[in-house]
Structure formats: structure tokens, C-alpha cells
Amino acid sequence: MNAAAPAQPQRSPLFWAGMFLFMILSGIAIPAQGRVNAELSSTVGDAYLAAFISFFVGLLVLAVIVFLTAPGRRAMRQVPPAFRRGEVRWWYLLAGAVGGYFVLAQTLTIGMIGVAVFTVVVVTGQTIGGLLWDRIGLGPGGRRQITLMRCVGALLTVCAVIWGVSPQLTVADRGLAWLLLVLLPFSGGFLQAGQQALNGRQSAAYGSALPGAFFNFASGSAVLLLTWVTVSLLQGGLGVPQLSTTWWHYLGGPLGIVFIVLGALLVTRVGVLLAAMGMIAGQLIGSLLLDLVVPAPGSLVTTATVLGTALTLVAVLIASLPDMRRAGR
């Protein structure tokens, strides 16, 4: 890994405006994907199968792009040279397994700890992970110092999310079993930040985000297929899966591609922490828009929801100020 971050090129306000837009778009794809996957899961009656279908559809879309288009084939031809140069290690290709793990953590815990607690814990894991992975240089930009502004921005992000979901938080009996359940989404968020760092390394090595995205969906699909088969066998057999006839129920995979591709591009340009924080802001904005336009049963939008969402944008700006000043010199 690089010992230190390379010197940053001159970056205009237009560059940062574009980065913030990509952060928001990437983050918005996450709650949209969650809403689509929830509908698919309800229709097929099997959360594990729905998660696998979502990943597999994404894999098929990426297979068409990388093998049947000239840019895709050109990008895939860069994979062997990147391995020979040592820029990509074999275990980078397993980053997509984190996506499978995250979906499983969501499936296993969200019904017991609630969406609000799940969101807060995941965001905390993403933020701490972003700080750590930047510090050790897991991302393509090398090591980034843990500065006061970055810590303030990270802490403010977590506080903003807690504020935003506070109307949904309830006090319940929280014993040891509850704490153990919370560890799953926390580790999922923590590892997800590392996944974006490895995707960014692959994107930088190949000169394109497409190969890394393809490998992500391949490994994630394998993990979820194995999980679905194992759980089904333990429950008495596979049986004939029931599929949905609604076309938009299969958009979860393509939405995941948006998140993976834009996330990989962001990490190469702004680092793991800022990319994670920007996508967190996008998640809250996307969730807010969905609840306003097509509210789900039990959804709740209050002043705290709106202000907490706005505060995440302020947190991203605060954390990015040192980089913006340094790049503008």
C-alpha cells in the first residue's frame, strides 16, 4: 500500500460540486434498492432468495456491459496486467462478499432492532471504518491523516443520523442478545467502508470501475447463493422458488451497480471517509424523498428527520474543508 497520499492536483469548485452530486446519487441508490428488495422479498416469501436474485440480476447486467461492449472488454483486459504489476491482490476480488454479508446482517437483525437503530449502527460503523481505512492507506489515495476537522465531521455525521431517525427510536429491553445483534450491522458498515476502499484500488488499477463492480457482484452472488441453499436445506429442502412478475422488483441489482461504481470512483478522488460520509448523506436524502413521494407503511417524516438530513450535508462540508483548501493552493 502507498505510504502517503500523493500530491493533489488543482481542483476547482466545479470539481467539488460534481463530487458532492455523485455522493448524493450513490447514496440515494441505497434506500431505493432497499425498498425494491423489500418488495421482492415480500413477493417471493424468502429474504435470502430475494437478496440472491437482486445480486444475480446485477451480475447479469454487468456481464453484458463488460463482455459485450468495447469499453467493458477494454477495461477487463487491464485486469491481468494490474495483477502482474502487484497493484491488485487476489483478495481484492472478494470485496463483494462484504455486500452479501451486509444484506444478511440486514435480513437477520432489522426485524429485531428496528430500521432506526440499524441505520445508526451501520452509519457509525461506516464512519469509524472510513477514518481507519483512510489512516492505514487501504484506499488508492494512500494514507490520510486523522485531522480534527475530519473527526468533527465524522462525529457530526453520526449525531445527524441519530437526530434524523430519532422519531423512530424506541426504548426497549436491551440485554446481551440485543448488543450481539447490533454487532452485525456495525461490522457490516465497518467492512462496507473497506469494500469501497478496495473497489477504489481496483478502479485506479484498471482505469475503470467496471471490472471491480463485476467481481463484486460475482463474489456477492456466490455468498448469497450458498447462504440461500444452506438455509433452505436446513429448513427442509429447496423447493421451486416463486418469482415476481413485477418488472421493477428486479431493479435492486442495477441500483446496486450505481452505488458500487460511483462509490469506487469517489474513493479514488476524495478518500474513503469523505466518500462514506457523502453517501450517508445521500442515503438520508433518498430515504426522505421516498417517504415523501411513495411512503411505506409506518414511515414517519418529522422536523427532526429533515434537519438531521440537512446536518449530514454540513458534516460532509466540514470534513472536506481541509482537502478543499489544500487542493486550492
pLDDT in tens, 190-228: 998 899 899 999 999 999 999 999 999 999 999 999 999
User: Pseudo-torsion of CA 250, 260, 283, 171, nearest 10°?
Assistant: 90
Give the pLDDT band (50/70/90) at residue 17: confident
What is the structure's pLDDT at 173? 55
Identify the burial level of 235 via C-beta atoms within 10 angstroms of its C-beta, where 0-12 means exposed, 13-18 middle and 19 or more buried: exposed
Comparing 63-72, 159-168, 320-329, the range with the smallest average pLDDT is 320-329
Exposed e or buried b per residue across 156-179, where buried means at least 16 C-beta atoms within 10 angstroms of its C-beta: bbbebbbbbbeebeeeeeeeeeee
31's enclosing H/E stretch is: helix 13-44
Exposed e or buried b per residue across 112-123, where buried means at least 16 C-beta atoms within 10 angstroms of its C-beta: ebbbbbbbbbbb
pLDDT of 172 above 70: no
What is the structure's pLDDT at 116? 64
Pick 24 or 6 by higher pLDDT.
24
Mean pLDDT of 137-141: 84
How far apart CA 139 and CA 1 sit, in angstroms, is: 8
Q: What is the pTM of this model?
A: 0.82
What is the structure's pLDDT at 3? 43
pLDDT of 73 above 90: yes
Alpha carbon distances (Å) from 187 to 99, 148, 287:
12, 24, 22
pLDDT of 231 above 50: yes
How far apart CA 15 and CA 274 sit, in angstroms, is: 14
Pick 276 or 76 by higher pLDDT.
76
Q: Using the 8-state DSSP alphabet, how is residue 46 labeled?
A: -
**Number of Cβ atoms within 10 Å of the Cβ of 6:** 9
How far apart CA 19 and CA 283 sit, in angstroms, is: 15
Mean pLDDT of 241-251: 91
